[in-house]
Amino acid sequence: QVQLVESGGGLVQAGDSLRLSCAASGRTFSSYAMGWFRQAPGKEREFVTAIAGIGTYSYYADSVKGRFTISRDNVKNTVYLQMNSLKTEDTAVYYCAARLTSILSLRVYDYTYWGQGTQVTVSS
């Protein structure tokens, strides 16, 4: 069982930055690919970014490429999402997720464990 706890969400203005954190339990964190997804009201949960379990290979949705950066600290069992140049359309609940393989995926159903989510609201 893996427990994920997100933090760092909040209310910011367009153009601001936020850093989300996701702390994971378990002793095999480095073997899990980790992803960030988001869900806006009335919309389906969508892929934002993911990072492989080993190394730094990552992938980004086109909508956040160049603005968001995912990273992980396998000693602290934590994955981060640095969000810069935030836009109003980035407003959503952000979820981190763990996949029971080191290979990242863009698909929601490939991830087994999910955090409770953290709200990010970007005002104009």
Q: How confident is the model at residue 28 (pLDDT cuts 50, 70, 90)?
A: confident
Residues in Cβ contact with 109 at an 8 Å cutoff, skipping those fewer than 6 apart: none
| Residues, the chain | 124
Cβ 39 vs Cβ 46: under 8 Å: yes
pLDDT score at 54: 80
pLDDT of amino acid 56:
79
- Residues 36-68 pLDDT 10s: 999 999 999 999 999 998 877 999 999 999 999
Classify strands 113-114 and 46-51 as parallel, antiparallel or unpaired.
Answer: unpaired
